[in-house]
């Protein structure tokens, strides 16, 4: 039986530039991070720890449990090593499994070939031990085996997540150019929002930023919205451990009565869809939606917090002139209406950001897809700065 309580290396992956925020999350959960790198963190734990991590992390993509490292110069070396592993103690008789990989070695120019050799090794081992072969396929609906292979060093993992946990599962209507949920969470964690004051989010689109803010404010974790993970399809899985972790998710939700989250958009369809997504996330009653130009957005003066906007970047011809005006209006709005707030503009176009007309106090680097982005922070003073 696969040992769910055996300690081994765990790699938690994330999108580039999210690692500092992922490290903070993992540490707050009580784990010691041994290494932080560009796309994730390394620690030690059990598969039962992986259950907790999958359910609780906002910024992560995959939670990988290491089964072993080995040297490999050719795909046949991978095959030989994996046929010696006791897959019969990991995968059930009727198991369905998938293979994913991250391969950076000169001997393989097609990642799919490495995947096939991994699949062949597991299938051949199980056929030899059981006389029957398991089902395999590309859908990440069952157990998932992951190969990391760089130069002549390889490591084989159980991907305990399956489908990425960077998508939090509540967003049924993504809308136009939606921000990835894990990225939205990381940008909020990068801000100075105290989770108990105003969070003003014009140009809200499908509502991802406002919804993630509401989830973070109430300590509502992504595991609340998902009911299938790869770890559930391994031999030795104890559903009581999972149910206990789920119960803890429910118990740790808190009230945030002082947090006013305001989300607006001039597009009625966008606001309608954002409301539906908020309902699916269980936070619709926390978010004040309105249909209006961003400059007409209410900015509460009694409990000042953050102004947070993610305007378009001008990826299509003919948009730049109009967006220059929009970015200028954002700067005017922050100066005129947001005194005492911290202002945040998330953008993938720094030339447009210059039109804001304010000096950013801090610039935090992110990627949105392949777009090099910045979260620009502005300290918005009331009256004169000296005053």
Q: Are 84 and 102 in contact (CB under 8 A)?
A: no
Residue 107 lies in a domain: yes
Residue 74 lies in a domain: yes
Check whether residue 122 and residue 189 sit in a common domain: no
Q: Which domain holds residue 373?
A: 181-219+254-379
Q: Are 60 and 22 in contact (CB under 8 A)?
A: yes
CA distances from 129 to 53, 92, 269, 322 (A): 33, 12, 57, 66
Residue 263 lies in a domain: yes
Report how far apart the first and last C-alpha atoms of the chain are (Å, whole number).
Answer: 68
Residue 258 lies in a domain: yes
State CA 174 to chain mean position distance.
15
Task: Report how far residue 44's alpha carbon sits from residue 38's, in angstroms, rounded to the nearest whole number.
Answer: 18
Quote the number of domains for the chain.
2
Residue 304 lies in a domain: yes
For the chain, how big is the Rg over CA atoms in Å? Answer: 23
* Domain CATH for 135: 3.30.2130.30
State CA 39 to chain mean position distance.
12
Task: Report how far residue 90's alpha carbon sits from residue 371's, in angstroms, rounded to the nearest whole number.
Answer: 39
Check whether residue 194 and residue 136 sit in a common domain: no
pTM value?
0.95
Check whether residue 109 and residue 187 sit in a common domain: no
The pLDDT tens digits along the chain (387 residues) read: 678 999 999 999 999 999 999 999 999 999 999 999 999 999 999 999 999 999 999 999 999 999 999 999 999 999 999 999 999 999 998 889 999 999 999 888 888 899 999 999 999 999 999 998 899 999 999 999 999 999 999 999 999 999 999 999 998 887 777 899 999 999 999 999 999 999 999 999 999 999 999 999 999 999 999 999 999 999 999 999 999 999 999 999 999 999 999 999 999 999 999 999 999 999 999 999 999 999 999 999 998 999 999 999 886 545 788 899 999 999 999 999 999 999 999 999 999 999 999 999 999 999 999 999 999 999 999 865 544
């Amino acid at each position: 039986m696969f040992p769910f309580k055996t300690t081994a290396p765990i790699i938690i992956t994330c999108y580039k530039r999210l690692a500092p925020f992922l490290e903070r999350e993992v540490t707050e959960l009580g784990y010691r991070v041994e290494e932080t790198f560009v796309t994730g963190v390394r620690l030690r734990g059990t598969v039962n720890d992986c259950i907790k991590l999958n359910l609780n992390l906002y910024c992560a993509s995959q939670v990988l449990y290491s089964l072993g490292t080995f040297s490999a110069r050719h795909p046949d070396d991978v095959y030989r090593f994996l046929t010696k592993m006791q897959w019969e103690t990991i995968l059930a008789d009727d198991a369905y499994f998938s293979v994913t990989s991250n391969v950076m070695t000169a001997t393989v120019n097609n990642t799919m070939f490495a995947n096939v050799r991994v699949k062949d090794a597991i299938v051949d081992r199980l056929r030899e031990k059981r006389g029957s072969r398991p089902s395999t396929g590309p859908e990440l609906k069952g157990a998932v085996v992951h190969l990391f292979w760089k130069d002549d060093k390889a490591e084989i993992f159980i991907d305990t997540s399956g489908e990425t946990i960077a998508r939090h599962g509540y967003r049924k209507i993504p809308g136009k150019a939606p921000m990835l949920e894990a990225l939205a969470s990381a940008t909020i964690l990068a801000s100075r929002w105290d989770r108990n004051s105003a969070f003003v989010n014009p140009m809200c689109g499908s509502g991802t930023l406002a919804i993630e803010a509401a989830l973070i404010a109430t300590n509502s974790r992504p595991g609340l919205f998902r009911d299938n993970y790869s770890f559930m399809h391994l031999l030795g899985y104890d559903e009581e451990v999972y149910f206990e972790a789920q119960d803890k998710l429910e118990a740790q939700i808190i009230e945030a009565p002082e947090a006013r989250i305001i989300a607006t958009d001039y597009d009625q369809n966008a606001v309608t869809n954002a409301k539906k997504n908020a309902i699916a996330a269980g936070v619709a009653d926390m978010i004040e939606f309105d249909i209006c130009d961003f400059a007409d957005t209410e900015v509460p003066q009694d409990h000042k917090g953050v102004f947070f906007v993610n305007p378009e970047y001008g990826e299509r011809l003919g948009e730049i002139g109009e967006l220059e005006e929009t970015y200028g209006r954002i700067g005017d709005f922050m100066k005129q209406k947001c005194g005492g707030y911290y202002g945040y503009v998330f953008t993938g176009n720094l030339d447009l950001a210059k039109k804001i007309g304010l000096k950013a106090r801090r610039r935090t680097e992110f990627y949105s897809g392949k777009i090099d982005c910045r979260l620009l922070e502005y300290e918005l003073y009331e009256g004169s700065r000296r005053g």
